[in-house]
Amino acid sequence: MAGEAKVWTEGLNFFYGASQALHDINIKIPPHKVTAFIGPSGCGKSTFLRCLNRMNETIVGTRIEGKVFIEGHDIYDRSVDVVDIRRRIGMVFQKSNPFPKSIFDNVAYGLRIGGLKDKNKLAEVVEKALIDAALWDEVRDRLQESAMGLSGGQQQRLCIARALAVEPEVLLMDEPASALDPIATQRIEELIHQLKEKYTIIIVTHNMQQAARVSDITAFFYLGRLIEVDDTERIFTRPKLKQTEDYITGRFG
């Protein structure tokens, strides 16, 4: 884990009302790598992911302590515009959530709300994003059709294209393949592999084989704490802590 971190946290605590969901998380996430968060359900991995683009703020009664840095800037600092943060840090949700608009309008959404009106430029970026999300060949002839008519796997790749179109620096993926069949899952995993050249990717998964396949670094969460983080290969072959070993060998969780 050499080199500089793209994203890191210091003493991050997170609360849903009175119950503490995250305890003192300190992690460094390097650029242009895939970092996977694993752990049993309710361990806080998704909650932590949503701290990284301030999406937890949309949930009433939540509170955060500590710091989250992106390239050295604290994203929870008062002077920071949350809209700017979410533009720089894209997110793909567990359940694909295409908007009930055309395929084109879905991908163009982020650009349009950003103020881009030039039709040629829009078409250019939409095409590029769809190519990057490995969806272009399947939808190039029906860009004006509703996104709701796509298959589950296509919808999720559309959501990835939509996130890529605004050219984020970091891409957060919250169990992006959990609702997909094995073939669609494989396509998403291949896509993640390609995307890390351009983006820093953080993926939450409950599927350990998936973490082993797609990630360079793996972080193991348990009961709201970050237990161990290391190169994926090391985590899965010779973890330092017994807790981690128990989890990845299927002894609990």
Partner 1 sequence: MKKQTVETLGFNLFRLGSVFVVLILGAILFDIFYKGIGAISWEFLTAEPRMGMTEGGIFPAIVGTLYITLITALFSVPLGMFAAIYLNEYARQGKITRIIRLSIRNLSGVPSIVYGLFGVALFVRVLHLGTSILSAGLTLGLLTLPWTITASEEALKTVPKSYRDGALALGATKWQAIRTNVLPYAIPGMLTGTILGLARAAGETAPILFTGVAFFLPFLPDSPLSQFMALPYHLYVLATQHHDVEKVMPLAYGTALVLIAFVVGLNLAAVIIRYHFRKKRG
Q: Shortest gap between Cβ of 184 and partner 1 (angstroms)?
A: 19
Q: Crossing angle for the helix pair 119-132 and 152-165, nearest 10 degrees? A: 130
Q: Cβ closer to partner 1: 139 or 227?
A: 139
Query: Is the CA virtual torsion 66, 68, 71, 76 positive or negative?
Result: negative
Q: Cβ closer to partner 1: 1 or 113?
A: 113
From candidates 7, 64, 166, 195, binder to partner 1 by CB under 8 A: 166
Question: Shortest CA distance to 85 belongs to which of 71, 95, 98?
Answer: 71
Residues in CB range of 56: below 8 A, 6 or more apart = 14, 47, 50, 62, 64
Q: Could you say whether residue 15 binds partner 1 (CB under 8 A)?
A: no
From candidates 39, 44, 90, 153, binder to partner 1 by CB under 8 A: 90
From candidates 16, 69, 76, 109, binder to partner 1 by CB under 8 A: 109
Stretch of 12-20, 90-98, 124-132, 196-204 lying at the interface with partner 1 (CB under 8 A) = 90-98
From candidates 23, 28, 32, 87, binder to partner 1 by CB under 8 A: 87
Q: Could you say whether residue 68 binds partner 1 (CB under 8 A)?
A: no
Q: Cβ closer to partner 1: 112 or 140?
A: 112
Q: Could you say whether residue 55 binds partner 1 (CB under 8 A)?
A: yes
Query: Is the CA virtual torsion 16, 34, 238, 208 positive or negative?
Result: positive
What DSSP string describes 144-198? TSBGGGS-HHHHHHHHHHHHHHT--SEEEEESTTTTS-HHHHHHHHHHHHHHTTT
Stretch of 5-13, 14-22, 68-76, 143-151 lying at the interface with partner 1 (CB under 8 A) = 143-151
Q: Binders of partner 1 among 181-240, rule CB under 8 A?
A: none
Query: Is the CA virtual torsion 207, 209, 215, 219 positive or negative?
Result: positive
8 Å CB contact between 17 and 59: no
Q: Which residues would be at the binding site for partner 1 (CB under 8 A)?
A: 53, 55, 58, 60, 83-84, 86-87, 90-91, 93, 95, 97, 99-100, 109-110, 112-114, 146, 148-149, 159, 162-163, 166
